[in-house]
Structure 1
Amino acid sequence: MRYDIAIIGSGPAGLSAAVNAKIRNKNFIIFGNRNLSSKIEKAPVVDNYLGLYNITGQNLKENFQNHIDSMNIEIDEHKITNVYAMGDYFALMSGSEMFEATTVIIAIGTDSSKSINGEEEFLGRGVSYCATCDAPLYRDKNVCVLGYNKESIHEANFLNEIASKTYFIPMRNTLKNDLDSVDKDIEIISKKPTEIKGEMLVNELNFEDQSLKVDGVFIIKDSMSPKNLVPGLEMNDKHIKVDVDMKTNLAGLFACGDCVGRPYSYIKAAGQGLTAALSAVDYLAENSK
């Protein structure tokens, strides 16, 4: 099945794009977390979302959820790790599964964490951003999960059912209260890694004062680097380069929200999501002639 529009991200930008794709009767799919955005949920108060003054992040998230529920918009939790331009369509990869779409809207937000030395070099050669996608490759092997969010604990527990030995490193202090959920036979390491090393494939994770022999490193973040997601995508530093219509340098590929740059604002993201969806609709119309 080939979708008209595939949307990657379930924050304000992605949800806004989905709402407007639905209004325009397009066949679309939205990938993301069914809990929507953890960043919104954590906001104590939001004062600049027009019409919703002094609303808490939790209540804003509930409003978003009620909106998409009322329009029967469901979020698909497949984690998209690669998007390839195939000419007149895009191939979106989630492990061995592939989805096809004529247009794609990237709304993956941004992550403030820095890459670890070797992360990009070994991506696809022992470094992965999705355990459920790549876990079968590491059966009976030693793996380490670098966790930046609560999802990483579930990913580590899942990997532990397959791997010979699983290590878990909480990369954020906010995870310390959730470590009781980590399977008992997973070894938790409190040190922060400095470098991922290997030859053809990953074989070592280094710390300042020691090294760990591993076959795979799973880095579980809320967002991945767009340039690792889409080969050939033009960037402005760490942000996706777009024009006023949210068009990227790849025909049929659009981007919106925090991943395209500052200001990082919920209402800006929602507006850009609308623009990206309408631009995708226009692209579909032009290419159907």
Structure 2
Amino acid sequence: MPYDIAIVGGGPAGLSAAVNARARNKSVLVVSNDYRESPLYRAKQVDNYLGMPGQSGAALLDAYYRHAEETGATFRGGRVLNIMALDGTCYLGIGSEMEEARAVILCTGVSQGKKFPGEAEFLGRGVSYCATCDGMLYRDRPVAVVGLAPDAPEEANFLQGLGCQVTYVSGKRPEALDPAIPWVRAGRLEITGEAAVTALRVNGEDIPADCVFLLRHAVPPTDLLPGLALEGGYVAVDREMKTNLPGVFAAGDCTGLPLQLSKAVGEGLIAGQRAAEYVDQLCDSEVINSITCEKGE
């Protein structure tokens, strides 16, 4: 059975949405990285949250997470790589696996950084966002891993274990990286090739690679859902946190300024409530259609 609501992102907006959807007895899946990796978690003091000045970001996020967990929301670690909506069901690709939900709430925060030169052009032709999904295709072949997420060293080690010839590129060599994997300090990056990727260019030097694995914290919303409308670079929503796609809602920093905790929590509340209402309407419609079909028979 699909979940009623899947929430992409486990920050304040996502956790607020989870609490409010669970309050309406909806099954909820929250997919995110470890919430302790959030910049908010490292804030020593938050003074602009109403009625709770002086709290640390860690204390607030710990409390948010416990609250959502105690309501019965299901949590799953990982990155959502793509979402496809079809006939009232949203299919979420998480690594090499799939989850289903009737509605989705995007709480992805703001995307950090622009695409690298060549990234969009070679997507699916030697650019990948998932080592476990595509690693087997490049066994015994040279690949480059651009480590932009905390779990990137583990995925690079996984590729090495498959037999890929891995080169790891990042700001500094991570401790968790297999010592047998060559490391190159990141600089100006460009993905090059002709019909498919042939190299990752780092500061003008080419690293031969048949695939470049770009392992970020999260995939930007527009890459998750082609056709998602933007406004000023942020996900466009109405006052009910609805996007232009049926069954898809958004909340928090990904919907635009101000990038503030209070806004994220409030929008998460609205998105959770409205997504729950959408699921109820969807279920009512399915019941009516079922009755109509039975009468027709």
Following the alignment from structure 2 to structure 1, what is the Cα–Cα distance between the partners of residues 58 and 28? 27
Following the alignment from structure 2 to structure 1, what is the Cα–Cα distance between the partners of residues 247 and 241? 10
Report the 3-state secondary structure (helix = DSSP H, G, I; strand = E; otherwise coil) of the residue aligned with 2:62.
helix
Asked if 2 retains the 8 angstrom alpha-carbon contact of 1:225 and 1:238, the reply is no
Aligned to 1:242: 237
2:218 counterpart of 1:218: no
Amino acid at match of 1:89: T
Which 4+ residue blocks in structure 1 deviate beyond 3 angstroms? 34-37
User: Percent identity, aligned pairs only?
Assistant: 40
1:232-283 Cα distance to aligned partner (Å, 9 max, x none): 1111243111111111111111011111111111221111111111111121
Report the 3-state secondary structure (helix = DSSP H, G, I; strand = E; otherwise coil) of the residue aligned with 1:92.
strand
Task: State which structure, 1 or 2, has the greater radius of gyration over its C-alpha atoms.
Answer: 2
2:55 counterpart of 1:60: no
1:147-187 Cα distance to aligned partner (Å, 9 max, x none): 2232222222222212431111114xxxx3x6222110111
2:272 counterpart of 1:277: yes
Of stretches 76-85 and 151-160 in structure 1, the one that deviates more from structure 2 is: 151-160
Q: TM-score, normalised by structure 1?
A: 0.91
Report the 3-state secondary structure (helix = DSSP H, G, I; strand = E; otherwise coil) of the residue aligned with 1:181.
coil
Aligned to 1:183: 178
Residue 127 of structure 1 deviates from its aligned partner by: 1.6
Aligned to 1:268: 263
Q: Which runs of 5 or more residues in structure 1 are unaligned? A: none
Aligned to 2:70: 70
Asked if 2 retains the 8 angstrom alpha-carbon contact of 1:193 and 1:205, the reply is no
Distance 1:156 1:238, change over 3 A: farther
Asked if 2 retains the 8 angstrom alpha-carbon contact of 1:142 and 1:163, the reply is no
Asked if 1 retains the 8 angstrom alpha-carbon contact of 2:79 and 2:218, the reply is no
Report the 3-state secondary structure (helix = DSSP H, G, I; strand = E; otherwise coil) of the residue aligned with 1:286.
helix
1:73-108 Cα distance to aligned partner (Å, 9 max, x none): 331124211111213221211244222211111111
Amino acid at match of 1:209: G
Return the match for 2:223 from 228, 233, 238.
228
Report the 3-state secondary structure (helix = DSSP H, G, I; strand = E; otherwise coil) of the residue aligned with 1:264.
coil
1:7-48 Cα distance to aligned partner (Å, 9 max, x none): 111111111111111111012211112445421222222111
Residues 153-232 of structure 1: pairs in structure 2 closer than 5 A: 153-171=153-171, 176=172, 179-232=174-227
Asked if 2 retains the 8 angstrom alpha-carbon contact of 1:143 and 1:163, the reply is no
Amino acid at match of 2:278: Y
Amino acid at match of 2:257: R
Report the 3-state secondary structure (helix = DSSP H, G, I; strand = E; otherwise coil) of the residue aligned with 1:48.
coil
Amino acid at match of 2:121: E
Aligned to 1:140: 140
Distance 1:202 1:155, change over 3 A: same
Asked if 2 retains the 8 angstrom alpha-carbon contact of 1:11 and 1:37, the reply is no
Amino acid at match of 1:49: Y
2:129 counterpart of 1:129: yes
Following the alignment from structure 1 to structure 2, what is the Cα–Cα distance between the partners of residues 243 and 7? 18
2:91 counterpart of 1:91: yes
Following the alignment from structure 2 to structure 1, what is the Cα–Cα distance between the partners of residues 90 and 74? 21
Amino acid at match of 1:244: R
Report the 3-state secondary structure (helix = DSSP H, G, I; strand = E; otherwise coil) of the residue aligned with 2:174.
helix
Following the alignment from structure 1 to structure 2, what is the Cα–Cα distance between the partners of residues 236 and 247? 13
